[in-house]
Structure 1
Amino acid sequence: MKDYLEGKISAEDFLDSGLAKEFAGLKKTNGRGEYDDDGLNTASMSPRKTLAALIRFKETYQQDPARITKNEKGVITLDSIGDAGADLENAPSDSGVDVPTARSAKADAYIRYMEKHPEEANSDHWEDRMASSKLSMADRARVIESRDKLRNETTAKKALEEQKSYQEIAGLADKVIRSKDSGSLEALRTKNYDVYTKLLDLQTNPPDPADMDNEDFTKMANYGNPAFPQDALRAYVHGTIDQDTYANAMQHYDIEQTVKPILAMPAIKPVMEKLKLPIIGENKKLFDSQIAVVLNDMMEANDGKRPSLLEIQAAAQQVQQGLIATQAQEVQTRTTRPEYALGK
């Protein structure tokens, strides 16, 4: 093995003169095993596979000796992440590299292993492994940085997958509630049985209207929240809002999503923000809502095409003037109340 790793003999020589004599199951380069004629053994492992493994083993050893470890029984392992701190102390004699280099290579092996098996980044044993290998603070920092990065990536990926699943469920449920689509209801049965049964129950046993809070939900609705469809579905299946309130809320959410790219245009967004300045309180939210509806109506009347910038600005000004007039009326109404009279 030592001669092979040092390049003194070829992989073929190592197989024929060494391994095949040690293991009767290995075929030599001539296609026969060393002990095929003894009446007891018959080699079955092809020389091609053995040579390929030997070449990979040598290449790995030359790139990173720390990836090759040997336990107390003499078993050699490639790509091991076991606790081999004691073996690293023998690196100068075993692999010809100094101990710090071997430990740094061990840290590299830990990192490669986690990158290959991202789920292992969540293991609780990395501190023990690094301590056993006696890694330096710098090498520990590299391993921990890679571990934490992989953990964050795994968490983000899981959250993204969950969000995608929630969106799919909400989309299917929306078709059931608003369109009574039987195909979507059947799909829900396999995707999320709890939502499926809840929707069926709501169709046959609607909740008591006295327990609902449709007005408060509509008032607090945040149509700009990407999770609004899930929030609306949750409110409906929990009996907080009725079907009409859900349908109206989702219709307005769809409208806002349709016009959102237009209102975000550099030539339009500053205009809208300027028009909102004189508007106060909850009327700012009402401004956004009314602009979305007006703009959507204009697009529908224009075969789905975006109106001109001047048309959008004119429509927004009308909405603004209407809300400012409403504000003025509200102020006038409040000031005529008895509590605003002089001396009160």
Structure 2
Amino acid sequence: MPAPQQRNLPVYKETANIPKPSVAYYLHQQGSGAAAGLARVLGVASKRAKMDEQNDKPSKEENLQLAALAQMGAERDRLKLAKGKSLFGYGDASVQIDSYELERGRREAALYAGQLRDAYAEAGLHKNDNPAAYQAFVQSQRDHIFNELLKDVDPSYYHGFVTHVGPVFQKMGLTHAGNLDTFIQSQNKLAAENLIQQQVDLEMTMARQGNAFTVMMDTLMGPESNNNYNAFHSHADNTSIRFTDMTLNEVLEFQSSKKWKDYGSGSSAVGRYQFVEKTLRETIRASGLDPATVKFTPAIQDRLAFTRLVTERDFIGFLEGKYTAEEYLNEHLRKEWAGLKGTDGRGFYDGDGLNKASLPWQKSVAALIQFREAYVRDPSIVKKDKKGNVIGLAEDAPVPTQNDPTKVRVADAAPDSVNDAVPETAPTPPQRLNEVLATSPEQLGVDTPEARKIAAKALVNFIQANPAHAKRLDLDDVMASWGLPKADRQMIYDARDEILEEQEAQSALDIETKRREAISMFDKAVRAGDLSSIGEVPDEYRTVIPRLKGVLANPPEVDPEFQAEFLANIRDPEYGDERTQPTHKDYPQYVLGQFMRGVIDHDTYVKAMNLRDTALKAKTVRQRPGIEPYAETLLNSIPKGKFRSDFAEAVDAVLAEYAENAEGPVPILEVFDALNKLHDTAMTKLTEAQQRVLNDPTYQ
């Protein structure tokens, strides 16, 4: 049975029983359904449809176009589809929606969208940080679409094209805005990296200027610690223990556990200012520093020393004229530091068995007067709170306190009076890096955490490019002044420690290279018996030359039997340590030392060194598979003594000859045969010697 014919329009029979329009069709809103279309054919519109027409409410299609046009940045008057008209196939032909044209417009819009993206890439807009360039691109594409592609086209095609391309413009705009932000951020970051790197290089390469207080203490602390912030008692030049890397608690633990005794110290005094344990604990409490987080850095040591003078030695009284410099030195200052002499020429702790003052009192007085004059000229170098109490030096870097390790005390901020005192005509001083980092969002276009991370990497770059700065003691002070977080500081410490390890390894290599070069020069000269041939010897070895000259000029009397025993034992591992073995790197130094001390004479020295030359040549053959174990087996079969030593020397001579003459691979079997012959000869000589002993009447 054939399928019923498909019809879009109802026939009369199908509509014969439709109620009156006023009853049924007012329920249907205007739309694209068959019922709504039929209502329009019959000329009956619902009340809601009439109301919508009166209110000029946009249709669904009109809304789609309006949205698409807005996404393209086009004007509202480009709307081509009349609103509220038939989608059922009747009405004004100019406003009908033709499904074919609609789909064609959508398909060609999809093709054009690909061209649009290609044009965007070819224009380089993904690399362009100028918003005007993107706006010009959009305008040119928009003009091309409406003035060329969609000019005089079917409204349905127009509708399909516009509603499909509009979202593409929107996505492209959003993508570009995101790319633009990323690009601008990238550009800002690159500019920030360059600027911060330059500032780091500048601040790190500048010599430590020091403030008026540290300049004064440079004079006073020479006898105490040689101005070494890592000094401890009787170790003024210490570099192996880095107290400046320790927290205050770690330094106190070093003192309280008496680890200093392991180094031969007679006191717990540490740092540039030689704080003993009791004094350091008291001063930390007085300063308000958090001993668990604050490190014993140079800036912190300076701050603690100033706190100590203010709280215990009436330093402010001296600054305000209560004492003369001489009186202050005698009555207060020399009681604090044992290295300072008073005007009577004595230190306060002289005679206690540990200390002896050495700094002339005139130098101390001059340093005190210089600082007081600086204070008189500018009292703001000493910070005071609102009540006038001294709370530190104006140059103090903000550090965590015990109350809140994440914040800086209000008292640590620079007083407003300092800024108010600057005249309006004064030039603006160049910004320090800590100021740049604090305002990086406004100045650099990157947020402060990112700017500080850039600063940390810049500091690593600087240290890697300038390895000498890895030994600086003020790195933590620098990082604190920049506000670097713990993770960034650790990254810098890791880089610094790696450089220090490399420097130590290189230093050891340099020392070893110098040692070998010097020993080689001495060896050649001693063998020749003429030290005039020695070239430029490293300074640390120049003291050897006069001693060698003396031995060569006045040879010591040495027992010939001892010389023979020395040469016989030189190959015996039980005779000494590794240095006594001819192939060991320290052998030349050992033999030279024996000669220089008169233990062996010149002939024995030359023989011993010739043995080394032969042994080194033989070593290349000994390393061939199986040769060394076989030679050792033969050697161990001979009793210790002259015959064993002679056999070892003969083995080296044969192997050295193979090393010099072999043009190809070493003939292993031939070497074994040669060693067997040497062994047979040695055993024959040993047997003959034993027989002579047995035949000696003395033993019968």
Which of the residues 461, 464, 473 maps onto 1:124? 473
Does residue 272 in structure 1 map to residue 631 in structure 2? no
- Identity percentage over the alignment? 24
Distance, in Å, in 2 between the alignment partners of 1:111 and 1:223 is 46
Q: Which has the higher helix share?
A: 1
Matches within 5 A, 1:1-344: 61-67=191-197, 68=199, 74-75=429-430, 84-85=433-434, 87-181=436-530, 183-185=532-534, 192-209=541-558, 215=565, 218=570, 219=572, 220=576, 221-264=580-623, 268-274=624-630, 276=632, 280=636, 290-298=650-658, 302=661, 308-309=666-667, 310-318=669-677
The residue type paired with residue 74 of structure 1 is P
2:346 maps to none
Distance, in Å, in 2 between the alignment partners of 1:281 and 1:153 is 47
Give the conservation status (yes or no) of the 8 Å contact 1:66–1:105. Answer: yes
Give the conservation status (yes or no) of the 8 Å contact 1:298–1:307. Answer: no
- Classify the secondary structure of the residue corresponding to 1:113: helix
The residue type paired with residue 242 of structure 1 is D
The structural deviation recorded for 1:131 is 3.3
The residue type paired with residue 223 of structure 1 is P
1:53 maps to none
The residue type paired with residue 263 of structure 1 is R
The structural deviation recorded for 1:142 is 2.2
Distance, in Å, in 2 between the alignment partners of 1:125 and 1:189 is 33
- Classify the secondary structure of the residue corresponding to 2:629: helix
122-131 vs 181-190, greater mean Cα deviation: 181-190
2:327 maps to none
1:217-236 Cα shifts (integer Å, max 9, x gaps) = 73532222223222322332
Give the conservation status (yes or no) of the 8 Å contact 1:91–1:99. Answer: yes
**Which of these two proteins has the greater Rg computed from alpha carbons?**
2
1:107-148 Cα shifts (integer Å, max 9, x gaps) = 111111112211111122223323333433432232122212
Distance, in Å, in 1 between the alignment partners of 2:654 and 2:431 is 74
1:157-179 Cα shifts (integer Å, max 9, x gaps) = 22222222222221221122112
Distance, in Å, in 2 between the alignment partners of 1:179 and 1:271 is 35
Distance, in Å, in 1 between the alignment partners of 2:190 and 2:648 is 62
Give the conservation status (yes or no) of the 8 Å contact 2:620–2:659. Answer: no
Give the conservation status (yes or no) of the 8 Å contact 1:103–1:135. Answer: yes
Q: TM-score scaled to structure 1, two decimals?
A: 0.61
Give the conservation status (yes or no) of the 8 Å contact 2:437–2:448. Answer: yes
Distance, in Å, in 1 between the alignment partners of 2:593 and 2:581 is 14
Alpha carbons of structure 1 residues 150 and 189: separation in structure 2 relative to 1, 3 Å: closer
The structural deviation recorded for 1:181 is 4.2
- Classify the secondary structure of the residue corresponding to 2:674: helix
Unaligned runs of 5+ in 1: 1-5, 8-57, 78-83, 333-344
1:30 maps to none
1:55 maps to none
The residue type paired with residue 240 of structure 1 is V
The residue type paired with residue 170 of structure 1 is I
Give the conservation status (yes or no) of the 8 Å contact 1:188–1:195. Answer: no
Distance, in Å, in 2 between the alignment partners of 1:87 and 1:123 is 23
Distance, in Å, in 1 between the alignment partners of 2:538 and 2:470 is 35
Alpha carbons of structure 1 residues 113 and 158: separation in structure 2 relative to 1, 3 Å: same
Alpha carbons of structure 1 residues 293 and 177: separation in structure 2 relative to 1, 3 Å: same
Alpha carbons of structure 1 residues 60 and 288: separation in structure 2 relative to 1, 3 Å: farther
Give the conservation status (yes or no) of the 8 Å contact 1:213–1:240. Answer: no
